[in-house]
A and B are shown apart, each in its own frame.
Chain A
Amino acid sequence: MSVLEIKDLHVSVETDQGTKQILKGVNLTINEGEIHAIMGPNGSGKSTLAYTIAGHPKYHADSGSILLDGEEVLTMTVDQRARAGLFLAMQYPVEIPGVTVTNFLRTAKTAIDGEAPAIRSWIKDVRQSMTNLRMDKSFAERNVNEGFSGGEKKRNEILQLELLKPKFAILDETDSGLDVDALKIVSEGVNRAKANTGLGILLITHYTRILRYIEPDFVHVFVNGRIAEQGGPELADRLEDEGYDRFLVDSNVG
């Protein structure tokens, strides 16, 4: 069984005002098949955690470690992490002009598996996943994210999640900017991927809305660069009622 362990992780980022500490000792263990929701106010470091796991060059891990089945992830390149089984569904996926979705998916699948997928079953898989996500066939021939609406970009992220079959997926505010219909479609996609492959999920969100469709096993409240409180799904309900004020007051005083 796969496990992703984050141990005492400290992360900083270079800004115009100098080095800024963002993560201040994060500890988190996610087992295969578990869904962990990370919730927290803006600026608490949720996205920093996501990008640090994926290996974005902007973020420097100063100490601590991230282990995937015991292997240190922090020393891997971005593409090595993906091939090791990590996936980041981004909040703002970038456009890749001139590269079609079809070409991109096949290239990524080939890179992840180490060999080109069998053509016939691959085309069938892509079509099926696109149909499930209510993506029109024409998407396949469009350039990656170019001219996509916000909802289409998110669906395209989940399409990749379904096809690339990672061990662990980090969903960075996948719910932001989605109307309720798109939110349902995207959530179904995540649940389907989990049912098919049993992956572990780190679901980063500001709102509890998506948790109505993707039920978490654990909820962690992120404040000021570390986990301030954790519990089961009932913690999300409490946040829904109370908001983050309680934690913000604590952190201001502390």
Chain B
Amino acid sequence: MSAAPTSTTAALPTSEQHGIKAHSDGRFGFVPVQTRNDRFKSVDVADFAPVTGREAVWKLSPVAKFTDLTAGELDGAAYDVDSTPTDGVAIDWVGRDDARIGSVGAPEEQAAANAWTSFEKALAITVTGEEDKEITITRARLGTGPRGAHTIIEARPFSRATIILENTGDARLTENLEIIVGESAHLTVVTLQEWNTGAVQLANHFASVGRDAYLKHVVVSLGGSIVRVNPSVRLAGPGSDTDLYGLYFADAGQHLEQQVYVHHDAANSRSRVTYKGALQGAGARTVWIGDVLIGRNAPGTDSYEQNRNLVLTEGTRADSIPNLEIETGDIKGAGHASATGRFDDEQLFYLQSRGITEDEARRLVVRGFLSEIVQHIGSQPLEDRLQAAIEAELRSTDEVRAPATTKEN
């Protein structure tokens, strides 16, 4: 509180009494970040204030459960990676001085910056050659100690590939992934989270899509305790194109989060964001935040984002927040949609009226709901595997709905 007025003779109200001075909360004149692209960025963890949980980027996350990752010391050493050698895909560990590091994005929060500050070597996946190829790269032995990591995926101009990043086992991981899609390249990146029950992963993906290039990015989160995968894609070249898909299935006590950001930064760029999730069991929690920014230099943009959540039991919570910023009026289209709901009773009635039991009808509806994402992945073996994983999740739904006397683990 500032000093009281010194003059007591005037009966007229003073400016202080009118409140046109700074408020005592110290935020007078404070202007929040006006556009998604103006958020503070730094690769140095020391530049970030301690996480309170009130920050825009953290406010829906259980921040108290991973303070070791946001502010603690991290193991930044190289780790075991399994893959089958594939022509046209080179996998190397590179030093911090690799020119590609930092060429696409920079952390906007402390955990990402902590990973960036801590990593010793970056895993670099370099794609060359115009023929289609598919590779699965598996991390299965990250262990339970807090770890920071950095990955680069570079698709050279005109190259084509599908990269499946498979994550299993234990983890306490904060990491950054930079994806560089060169001119006219055609890249699919699938990140599959099938961690053990207690695992925590905080991932930030930064992608830059070049002229006439295409990126399909798929996030599938099924296993783990807290899994946060935040992809940012900048459509950097004219005619660049991206499809961002997400599929998540949160069980009791699981927190699955994704903050998606698409920045249209060039003419005639196209984006589609489609995330679908199912929730079951007490404390199952999902968060989806979808930001789209259509920049001033992105005339002819065609953009649409949507999130759908299917709530299977009581006691779950799904947050779904679509945001759209448009800085140019000269666009083809921009829209967003979000819906979170229970089963559609009319769908169940329709299926049951054809003789299908209620349980089977529910399974059909959920399977169908999530299949829409699976069908777009474009790798038959992976699609088959994911359908099986969804079946397994659904079988556990039946257990939640009608608890069995014996429980397997």
Residues of A within 8 A of B (CB): 54-57, 77-79, 81-83, 87-88, 90, 93-99, 103-104, 107-108, 111-112, 143, 160, 164
Contacts and interface: CB of A to CB of B under 8 A. Distances in A.
Contacts of A164: 354-355
Contacts of A104: 351, 354, 364
A97 B352 contact: no
Given A94-B347, A97-B372, A78 B360 contact: no
B14 interface: no
A111 B364 contact: no
B350 A96 contact: yes
A111 B367 CA distance: 18
Interface of B: 344-347, 349-358, 360-361, 364-365, 367-372, 375
B368 to A, nearest CB: 3
Contact of B367 (A82, A93, A99): A99
A87 B369 CA distance: 26
- Per DSSP, are chain B's interface residues mostly helix, strand or loop, or mixed? helix
19 contacts: A55-B352, A79-B355, A79-B356, A79-B357, A79-B358, A81-B353, A87-B353, A94-B344, A96-B347, A96-B351, A98-B371, A99-B367, A103-B364, A104-B351, A111-B360, A112-B355, A143-B368, A160-B354, A164-B354
A93 B351 CA distance: 10
A54 B348 CA distance: 13
A111 B354 contact: yes
Given A94-B344, A94-B346, A82 B369 contact: no
A55 B353 contact: yes
B353 A82 contact: yes
A224 to B, nearest CB: 26
Given A96-B347, A107-B360, A111-B357, A79 B367 contact: no
A104 B350 CA distance: 11
B350 A90 contact: yes
B354 A112 contact: yes
Given A82-B356, A98-B372, 5 more contacts: A57-B349, A79-B355, A98-B369, A108-B354, A111-B355
Contacts of B355: 79, 82-83, 108, 111-112, 164
Nearest to A99: B368
